Amino acid sequence: MTDTIAMKMELPKVPDIELVALNGLSLLAKHLGIADEKIGEARILVTEAIINALEHGGMEHPRVQVEFTMTSRDLTIFVRDYGKGFVPSEVEVPDIRTKIGSKNKRGWGLKLMRTMSDDFRIDSTPDGTKITIKKKLV
């Protein structure tokens, strides 16, 4: 039988608040015996999801909901913001050649999350955006 551990939190928009979620994630993963390499990958996914949500979630509701559900084999990350939403298909896929010569090196978050996850879903409406990421840990 595999233990399932879940953690939920609501994070305000303050500098470095994603570290709270990352510390919780790391503690849960270590408890379940997850390899350091997989913990590192999961931390990147969580960081990108939270920072994107806080940055694009707007100031009207400056907070995000974060949930983790983890077993020794799988991790599900859920991040929700309360911004105005966006159309995922309209987000430009970054091109490394263009970014190298540009002052703006940002814009890699969605591509990174899609690439590093085993399942990546975005549900975005005018009431906010929900991102669900699934990652195999073995």
Segment 91-133, tens digit of pLDDT: 776 565 665 566 655 556 788 889 899 999 999 999 999 999 9
Tell me, what's the pLDDT at 109?
72
Q: What is the pTM of this model?
A: 0.85
Report domain extents, the chain: 5-136
Q: Which CATH superfamily is domain 5-136 in?
A: Histidine kinase-like ATPase, C-terminal domain (3.30.565.10)
Cα dihedral across residues 105, 107, 111, 116: positive or negative: positive
Specify the pLDDT at position 100: 59
Residue type, 117: S
The answer to whether the CB of 116 falls within 8 A of the CB of 48 is no
What average pLDDT does this structure show over 73-78? 97
Q: Which helix (H) or strand (E) holds 99?
A: helix 96-100
3-class secondary structure, 138:
coil
What is the spatial distance between Cα 116 and Cα 138, in angstroms, rounded to a whole number?
A: 14
Q: What is the pLDDT of residue 94?
A: 59
- pLDDT, tens digit, for every residue of 12-53? 999 999 999 999 999 999 999 999 999 999 999 999 999 999
Taking residues 53-77, what's their average pLDDT? 91
* Residue 35: C-alpha distances to residues 30, 70, 99, 120 (Å): 8, 13, 33, 22
Residue 6 near residue 68, CB atoms below 8 Å: yes
Task: Give the 3-state secondary structure of residue 135.
Answer: strand
Look at 57 and 26; give whichever has higher pLDDT. Answer: 26
